[in-house]
Amino acid sequence: MSKKTVKDVEVKGKRVIVRCDFNVPLDDDGQITDDIRITSAIPTIKYLIEKGAKVILMSHMGRPEGEPNMKYTLKPVADRLEELLEQKIQFISSPVVIDDQVKKAVQELKNGEVLLLENLRFRIEETKNDVAFSKELAALAEIFVNDAFGTAHRAHSSTAGIAEFLPAVSGFLIEKEIKFLGGAVEHPERPFLAIMGGSKVGDKITVIENLLKKVDTLIIGGGMMFTFYKAQGLEIGKSILDADNVSLAAELLRKAEKAGVKLLLPVDLIAAKEFSNDSEKGIYSKDSIPADMMGMDIGPKSIEIFEKEIKKAKTIIWNGPVGVFEMPNFAVGTRAIAEAMANSEAVTIIGGGDSAAAVELFKLADKMTHISTGGGASLEFLEGKELPGVAVLDDK
């Protein structure tokens, strides 16, 4: 799948509209608490500035439900961009995103200048992929660049609709996502290992099904391991259970066996009396979980087995923590996996979401080959689905 990138088009003197993913978390004072999504977009923006483009940036933030809600203004993003780019960012907070003042400012942009539009989701049309709104956005520019991998699985006006009316190419972030995620799934260096965590089996079923056709080994940890234990007839005490999907977990175990994939579940775990960091806890084997306790992390024997698998692998994809890593006492397993991956020679890919948050927390992000910026998008990519925001880009 070879898509055109910003390097394949002449941008000098052209108005270039870039869809970024600036959906960053804010605290109660409106301060950005994690700016990785902004810093991830900088290489594409800098390239366009250096090449003399007139740059128009657009993004959504939060869920203003199609209403101009100033709690979700992109003003904090504009301020942070000014710091990172060390230049003035024009920001016009229009409740309708595009008005006469915005149009005039866009027309007056000089080469290398940058303007940021207000939150796209102030307009109900954005998420409906409304043609009229797509046209309004397209009318501002001569080239469309999509660099928002985090929303590439959504067909919205700013991710897919706009591409009907302008030449459409990817930024460096989407290019990198396609290269690593796509490369790992289509042409992995083997052994290929996938580690799946998180709590709900339901969210990951199709991903696991698709990966069973591709991987050599699949490790399952986190809250969803208990649904697999249940499928094997084990007692899980008060542990989290995705009750609707026990039979599906059993089916996945059969499919793995049939495909000749080594599917590994933890052999031991840390269980606690309560869902709290200070709870009374102990180490138990998987077939002796006390009735009044809940599993919170994988155990030491499991860590040892999983570390060996990580050492052997040449390509590793990790999506979802293997324990309640937000609580220090139950972060041991997730940290061990992150450290083993950081020390591995393999191509290591973190599939967004909580696993990305975990490697950031353990300060191991720079030791990974690639950290995907899109939780939902990376999962859909791993499911083998075509992402609307990527499909619409011009082919090379």
**Does 147 lie in the same domain as 187?**
no
The domain in which residue 127 lies consists of 6-172
* Residue spans of alpha helices (H) in the chain: 36-50, 75-85, 100-107, 131-138, 172-177, 183-186, 201-212, 225-231, 246-259, 300-312, 332-342, 353-361, 375-382, 388-391
Domain boundary among 129, 153, 172: 172
262 beta partners:
217
394: in domain: no
Q: CB of 116 within 8 A of CB of 91?
A: yes
**Does 245 lie in the same domain as 125?**
no
Domain boundary among 110, 144, 172: 172
Q: What is the CATH number of the domain that holds 363?
A: 3.40.50.1260
Model pLDDT for residues 338-355, shown as the tens digit of each residue = 999 999 999 999 987 789
Structure tokens at 122: 């102030």
Catalytic residue among 103, 200, 255, 314, which?
A: 200
3-state DSSP helix/strand/coil % of the chain, to nearest 5: 40, 15, 40
376 catalytic residue (yes or no): yes
Domain boundary among 172, 203, 237: 172
Residue partners of 132: CB distance under 8 A and separation at least 6 = 125
Q: Of the given ranges (21-35, 118-132, 152-166, 375-389), which has the lowest mean pLDDT?
A: 375-389
**Per-residue confidence band for 183, with pLDDT thresholds at 50, 70 and 90:** confident
Catalytic residue among 3, 14, 37, 121, which?
A: 37
**pLDDT given for residue 160 in this prediction:** 95
- CB 95: neighbour CB atoms within 10 A? 14
**Does 141 lie in the same domain as 195?**
no
1: in domain: no
Arithmetic mean of pLDDT, 272-298: 97
**Does 231 lie in the same domain as 84?**
no
Number of domains forming the structure of the chain: 2
237 catalytic residue (yes or no): no
Catalytic residue among 197, 353, 374, 389, which?
A: 353
**Does 167 lie in the same domain as 49?**
yes
Model pLDDT for residues 127-176, shown as the tens digit of each residue = 999 999 999 999 999 999 999 988 888 999 999 999 999 999 999 999 99
Read off the amino acid at residue 159. Answer: T
Provide φ and ψ at 170, rounded to 5°: -95, 155
Provide the residue count of the chain.
Answer: 396
Residue partners of 346: CB distance under 8 A and separation at least 6 = 189, 193, 310, 313, 314, 315, 316
Model pLDDT for residues 306-336, shown as the tens digit of each residue = 999 999 999 999 999 999 999 999 999 999 9
389: in domain: no
115 beta partners:
56, 90
396: in domain: no
391: in domain: no
Model pLDDT for residues 46-93, shown as the tens digit of each residue = 999 999 999 999 999 999 999 999 999 999 999 999 999 999 999 999
353 catalytic residue (yes or no): yes
In 3D, which of 4, 130, 146, 114 has the Cα closest to residue 50?
Answer: 114
**Does 151 lie in the same domain as 250?**
no
155: in domain: yes
**Per-residue confidence band for 305, with pLDDT thresholds at 50, 70 and 90:** very high
Provide φ and ψ at 247, rounded to 5°: -70, -35
**Does 53 lie in the same domain as 146?**
yes
168 beta partners:
144
Model pLDDT for residues 210-227, shown as the tens digit of each residue = 999 999 999 999 999 999
CA distances from 245 to 114, 125, 201, 341, 347 (A): 49, 36, 7, 30, 32
**Does 116 lie in the same domain as 205?**
no
Catalytic residue among 182, 183, 376, 384, which?
A: 376
The secondary structure of 131-195 as a DSSP string is: HHHHHHHHTT-SEEEE--GGGTTS--TTTTGGGGTS-EEE-HHHHHHIIIIIHHHHSPPSSEEEE
**Does 305 lie in the same domain as 167?**
no
**pLDDT given for residue 1 in this prediction:** 57
395: in domain: no
Q: Rounded to whole angstroms, how far apart are CA atoms 62 and 25?
A: 8
**Does 375 lie in the same domain as 328?**
yes
> For the whole model, what pTM was predicted?
0.83
**Does 200 lie in the same domain as 118?**
no
76: in domain: yes
**Does 212 lie in the same domain as 155?**
no
